[in-house]
Amino acid sequence: MTRHDQQILFTALAFLAVVQKDGEKATEGSAQKVMMLAKLLGEFCAENVPSSILPISSINDDKDAAAKVDTVIERHIKELRQNQTTILPEDKASLMQMYVRLQFRKIHRINAVLFSEISAPKLADHVLSQLDEEIEYQEGLS
């Protein structure tokens, strides 16, 4: 998963947390809360997620690998719909691949809604904020 993908994921998760806490009605400070929480999520993961896990998230960058995981996910969805149960793989690597891919798909659904409802100037504000965070991250690495 690229740094940009991580930022999208952290922002989407923060957005969900703020929406759940504040309700569906956005308040004046909602965007700022989302950005602050996304930054905290990134910092937490940078400190607490073992680096050995990160390459698995590149599943979203490899179309063939993503398609294979999507096939597995769709099989489990079909089983759950038909039987209300499914047997997940027991190995952690497979579970992590499924989890990361499901999170990626969720982010794309959230972005589809966001992009259909947000104005270009507001989206530009979000892009500038993401660029600022990227600069802060890169400067923190050096």
The model's confidence at residue 2, banded by pLDDT at 50, 70 and 90, is: low
Contacts 24+ apart (CB under 8 A), 63-70: 66/101, 69/97, 69/98, 69/101, 70/101
Q: What is the pTM of this model?
A: 0.52
The model's confidence at residue 43, banded by pLDDT at 50, 70 and 90, is: confident
pLDDT (tens digit, 9 = 90+) per residue, 46-98?
Answer: 666 654 333 454 666 778 888 888 999 999 999 999 999 999 988 888 889 89
Confidence (pLDDT) at 24: 66
Higher pLDDT, residue 107 or 7 = 107
**Whose CA is closest to 125, among 112, 114, 139?**
114
Give CA–CA dist 23/36, Å, rounded.
18
Higher pLDDT, residue 55 or 142 = 142
Confidence (pLDDT) at 82: 95
Question: Which residue type does 52 have?
Answer: S
pLDDT (tens digit, 9 = 90+) per residue, 122-136?
Answer: 989 989 999 999 999
